[in-house]
């Protein structure tokens, strides 16, 4: 997969894309990453990418000309343009299902806003407009890093364990079960005995029940759309009756 970003602050990606999982994904050849500087498509000596908003108001608005010129330059030679994403508060909420959908694309281009916003005319370039939530960030670069991370970890071969992404929170519509590692006892707190039993069937059932219990406690809204078995429903019923886990 080729992942590209277009922004006024491409250096913001250096640390994130050069570390940990992102670095390994590139070393393995699973992804190629390029951060493009929007200022390369400006034509004044100040390399201006923003201007005052029409109608007045606070802040500056990113100009449409350099964004369109950059997009044309990056895509005109391609038989199929990249799947183009904008990050904006009015976009659709980002979630695990959308991360899986984007992971099936061969080429992603993130166009990142900054300042007060982007000239509305640029959104016609978007295949998708995404929001991380009901809050405002300083820049689209920050939001794009979150989306890129969530997408890349879905790609085969990126995570150490083959089923790593399958077992994470939201992958099956539920929150992930609790995790433990050595030591078995720390400050009087013991790892649940079932995890030390060596009984894989009991461990699997315990994890499923813990996942259900955590979801019911922290995000009960997720249960409305989760794929639940008869045993899952019976367990949730026992929770509602106060039997606990």
pLDDT in tens, 193-204: 999 999 999 999
> For the domain that residue 226 is a member of, what is the CATH number?
1.10.1270.20
- Of 113, 165, 178, 187, nearest to 143 by C-alpha is 113
Q: Which residues of the chain are modeled with pLDDT < 50?
A: none
Among 121, 152, 183, where does a domain finish?
Answer: 152
Same domain flag for 173 and 231: yes
Same domain flag for 138 and 179: no
**Cβ contact 108:54 at 8 Å:** no
Same domain flag for 107 and 15: yes
| 93-117 b/e (C-beta count within 10 Å ≥ 16 → b) | ebebebbeebbebebbbbbbbbbeb
**Cβ contact 104:97 at 8 Å:** no
Q: How many domains does the chain have?
A: 2
Tokens 């509602």 found at: 240
> For the domain that residue 103 is a member of, what is the CATH number?
3.40.1280.10
Distance between CA atoms of residues 133 and 93, nearest Å: 6
Burial class of residue 215 (count of CB atoms within 10 Å of its CB; 0-12, 13-18, 19+): buried
Cis bond before residue 183 (omega within 30° of 0): yes
pLDDT in the model for residue 41: 98
Same domain flag for 121 and 176: no
Among 92, 121, 152, where does a domain finish?
Answer: 152
pLDDT in the model for residue 234: 96
Same domain flag for 112 and 214: no
Same domain flag for 81 and 147: yes
Among 97, 126, 152, where does a domain finish?
Answer: 152
User: In which element (H, E) is residue 118 found?
Assistant: strand 117-118
Query: For 143, phi and psi rounded to 5 degrees?
Result: -65, -40
Annotated binding site: 113, 132-137
pLDDT in the model for residue 171: 72
Q: Where are the alpha helices (DSSP H) in the chain?
A: 13-17, 20-27, 64-75, 96-102, 140-152, 200-218, 230-240
Residue-number span of the structural domain to which 27 is assigned: 2-152
Annotated binding site for S-adenosyl-L-methionine: 113, 132-137
Same domain flag for 203 and 118: no
Structure-block tokens of residue 229: 């078995």
Q: Are strands 2-7 and 107-111 parallel, antiparallel or unpaired?
A: parallel
Classified as helix, coil or strand, 166 is helix
Same domain flag for 144 and 183: no
Residue 162 lies in a domain: no
Same domain flag for 138 and 200: no
């Amino acid at each position: 997969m080729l992942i590209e970003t277009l922004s006024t602050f491409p250096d913001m990606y250096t640390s994130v894309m050069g570390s940990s999982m992102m670095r390994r994904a590139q070393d393995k050849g699973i992804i190629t990453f390029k951060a493009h500087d929007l200022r390369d498509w400006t034509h004044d000596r100040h390399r201006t990418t923003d201007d005052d908003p029409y109608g007045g108001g606070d802040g500056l608005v990113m100009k449409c000309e350099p964004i369109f010129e950059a997009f044309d330059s990056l895509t005109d030679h391609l038989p199929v343009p990249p799947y183009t994403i904008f990050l904006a508060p009015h976009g659709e909420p980002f979630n695990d299902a959308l991360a899986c959908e984007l992971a099936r694309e061969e080429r992603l281009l993130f166009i990142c806003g900054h300042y007060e916003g982007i000239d509305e005319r640029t959104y016609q370039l978007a295949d998708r407009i995404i929001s991380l939530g009901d809050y405002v960030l300083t820049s689209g670069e920050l939001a794009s890093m979150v989306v890129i991370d969530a997408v890349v970890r879905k790609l085969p071969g990126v995570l150490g364990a083959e089923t790593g992404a399958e077992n994470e929170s939201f992958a099956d519509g539920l929150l992930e079960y609790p995790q433990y590692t050595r030591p078995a006892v720390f400050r009087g707190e013991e790892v649940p005995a079932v995890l030390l039993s060596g009984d894989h069937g009991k461990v699997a059932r315990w994890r499923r029940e813990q996942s259900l219990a955590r979801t019911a406690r922290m995000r009960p809204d997720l249960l409305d759309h989760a794929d639940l078995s008869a045993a899952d429903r019976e367990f949730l019923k026992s929770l509602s009756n106060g039997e606990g886990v």
